[in-house]
Structure formats: C-alpha cells, structure tokens
Structure 1
C-alpha cells in the first residue's frame, strides 16, 4: 500500500454565519480545486446557546449538496418543498440542492446547552446542477459501526468500508464519509481509493499521521514531517489534515486516543463560479440564479 503524503495541516478559523452562529471553518471560499469535489467544511461546536440558537434562517442553495452530521444537540430544518424535521445526536442529512431550494436550519443545545455538528458542501457536476432537489435524512441508529479487534471504531456514513456500506447513496461526488476513533497508542492503516481527494478533520484527542516518505507504520519524530495533530477538549483547536495521492493513510493515536472524520471524493474538475450558497460553472449561470431569486422563479415546479 502507498501511504498518502500529508500536504498540509491547518486549524479551523472562527467565523460568524447565519443570524449569528459562531463556528469554525476548516476550508471554504478559497481555491475550489484544492479539495475538489468539496467546497466548504464547517464545525459548529459551542456550549453557549446565545452563540448558535439564532441559527440559519431561510436561505437559498443551487448547484451543490450539503451534508449535515450532528454529534450533540438538535437541528430543526424546513424547506420550500414543505419538508420539515429534526436531526438529533448521531443523525445525518444529505441535501441535494440541485436546481434550487430555500431552507432553514435552527440548532438547539442538548440538556447541558451543548451543540456540536459539522456541515460539508460537495459540488455538483454541470450535468446535475439543475437536477431536482431531494433529501436523505438518516437516523444515527441506521449508520453501521465497525469495531476492529484493536478497538478502532468506524462509523460508515457514506460509501463502503471494511465490508459495510453507509445508508446515504446516489451522491454525485462518489464520496466516502467516515467517523473514526483509534484507541490510545494504536497505529492504524486505513484504505482510501487512489482516485479520490482526501482529508481528515481531527476533533478529539491527538494523533500523528505518517508521511509518505517513510515506510508504512514508521512515525516521524519531527513535528513538521510527522504532522502531529493535537486536539484537546470542546474548547481545543480543530485541525484539518489534507492528503496527497496514495491508497491509504496511517495514523497513530496519542495517549487519549484520536477521533476524526476521514472524507474523500472523486474530483469533478470543472470550472466553478461561486457566490455564497450558490455554485455554478459560469458567471452567466451565477447571474441567472440571482436573477431567478429576485424574480421569484428560483424554485422550479415539482
């Protein structure tokens, strides 16, 4: 197996979105080819309801898919097609915005006031930009979890991994979305298809990813080469790890273990014209989308 090199590590940065939601952004609104087909990744983790309960009131999307994964608290949602519901802890929603949808997401804390979840945006190819919108809501109990002999736990949200398939399907980016916990001191090699772009997002514990310049399973001692990723508690840093090409990643967990998302997808490699929540291929298409919003023709007849 060829270990993917670690191209970059960086901490997510604070942002204010929606009607006043304090979150951390790992990437977004920069070079869209960097993690093609993925455009944006937000970590909305907070223990102060005043910093998230105003939520994300009605707003449009066109040309993308949004993936929301909730760990703590709840998210009420509704859309212009009449769909409503609530995502609880462990639940996932995959929304294909396609030709256009208006929706809102309103987070609520758990009994302790804590809210934690992630949202990922995946691009749609030009052939599917104007496809009909749809939702896939998945309860946490329906997400398969694999527990390996060494205690490694993998929740398979999307894609296939170690003989299990996630419940979300039919996604244009052909993604793999995994929630992985590696116990203290364990070194684990995880396969990733060579044709996918891949990143990890470390949000609990600490670990070290092996660089491709070293034999598999050998960890580097220099931080800049070994890419040691430190994550602490709810108030700690949040770290993105971006990988190069290869067919696996290898991680060694620190003394508290390490938990991270491992996400990969097939690059679309098309031009991107992007403004806010609308992502098209050309400026003309982008201008048409906003013209449709102004004229009230953004939502296509069902």
Structure 2
C-alpha cells in the first residue's frame, strides 16, 4: 500500500478548566471541534501530582446519547453506576461506557497522593443507538496489545487495529481507532488511517513532527481530510508519546446540553425531563 501522509491542518491548544467537583483538567477537543472531528465530541487530559487537583473526583452525574472512554496512565479511579457496574481503572487500563438511553455514574480517585494522569474521550452514538441499553466494559492493561514496530517504536492498540493486530475495543458505525504510541528513536513511523475517517494526534510528551509540522506537548494536531492519504507520518525523539485517534463521521445533527448529546432539541428536552423524573 502506498504511503501518502495527511498533513496537519491546524494546531489546537488545550483549555484549562475544572469539572466534576473541582477536578483540574485540560479540555483539548472542545464544542467548536465537534463537527470537524465527528464522531468525537470531547477529549480531556487530567494530569497532576497535587491531590487538590483531583481528589474531589466526579460525583454521580448523568449521560445520554454517547460513549465515554477513560484511559489511565497513572493513578486509580473507581467507577460506579446505577446499572450495577463497579470497578477500578488503574495504570494502563481502559474503561468504555456506553451511556445509551441514560446512566448515572461517578468516578472517584482511589488515591490520596501521587500522580493522577489519564484521558477521557467522548464518542457520539448514531441516532438509531442513542436510546440503546447502557453497557460497560473494563479492559485491563494486560489485555491491550502492544506492538513493537520494525522501526523499534511501541504502539498500544486500544481500539481499531494496527495492521493485523486488533485492539480489544471495536465499535460499529464510528469504527474508532485509538492508538497510544511511544517513539523510541528518530526513525519515521507511518500510521495507517482509513481515508474516510476524521483524525487527530494529541502529543502527550515531547515535540514530534506530525504530518509535516512540529507539535509541542499538550497540543492537538487536527489532520487534514485527503481522500488520497493513507495515514499520517510521525517522527520524533526517544520517549515522545502521542495518541492517534480517528473515527468514521456520523454526519448527523449534534445537539448537546451538558451531559446529553442528541440529534434534536426535542430529544434534549426529553432527556432533561427523563432525568429530572428519575427515569434514568
């Protein structure tokens, strides 16, 4: 297969904010990027070794109409929801929750000191599945394949696939690709991405070159949509880390009110009414 790289179309600086009961985080993918990066709705990074930044956690709150993916690099978070799911997500683990028709859940730090570092990604659901039954999957780090490439880099395959290696999480409709890549030398690495997908690269550490442009840490590179391109070319230094995300756009209306994401305002009003009347 020929290797034509997408270029970096735009660089986005994450916005510091507070969420939950006062958790400090950086919101990388904000509301303004939801159409351009459809089916992705939000990407947050939380990273601090100051317990005051994370200890309050995220008390019980509702979701409807999309999926949340929590990926921990350091620290531990306990998930609990009103569908009976409960578990602890630790270093390298992934939690994938489909809110569907509605769920109430909480995320509470299981530590009082040390580094808490991870990401939460929101992926939209197609209209036909927005009122599906909620579900929850917990994937321990040991079940996530890590590939050492011919160039000597490490690729952790969380969702989608890397050549013939398939990650533990697959989804219909949006077909997300979620790779955690560590560069171990200066050899270029070509990452295949389906031409039909919207795609981004988030630099966790270092300042690698992404699609021809240098990107510093804690910035998102929005990759151009080029039907001829087959992926993106990365090049950097040892121990630089990046997340590569792509997904098949749903091309449906996006109407969001806080933790509810539907296709119409009427559906949002119904979600609010259902939540307030205890039907979640």
Superposition pairs for residues 1-302 of structure 1, below 5 Å?
1-109=3-111, 113-211=114-212, 227-231=213-217, 238-245=218-225, 246-254=229-237, 256-297=238-279, 299=280
Task: Give 1:85 deviation, angstroms.
Answer: 0.8
Stretches of 4+ aligned residues off by more than 4 angstroms: none
Distance 2:278 2:239 in 1: 51
- For normalisation by structure 2, the TM-score amounts to 0.95
TM-score, L = length of structure 1 = 0.88
Aligned counterparts of 1:45 and 1:172: Cα–Cα separation in 2: 31
Question: 1:31: Cα distance to partner?
Answer: 4.2
* SS, match of residue 288 in structure 1: helix
SS of structure 2 residue aligned to 1:154: strand
CA shift, 1:296, in A, is: 1.3
Query: Whole-Å Cα distance in 2 between the matches of residues 114 and 108 of structure 1?
Result: 12
Tell me how many residue pairs correspond in the alignment. 275
Q: 2:153, 2:185 within 8 Å by CA — same for their partners in 1?
A: no
Which of structures 1 and 2 has the bigger CA Rg? 1
CA displacement, residues 197-255 of structure 1 (integer Å, 9 cap, x when unaligned): 100110112211233xxxxxxxxxxxxxxx21123xxxxxx11011012211011103x
Unaligned runs of 5+ in 2: none
TM-superposed deviation, 1:2 = 2.2
Compute the displacement of 1:162 (Å): 2.2
- The question of whether the paired residues in 2 share the 8 Å contact of 1:49 and 1:108 is answered with no
Cα distance in 2 for partners of 1:67, 1:292 equals 24
What value does the CA root-mean-square deviation take over the aligned residues?
Answer: 1.4
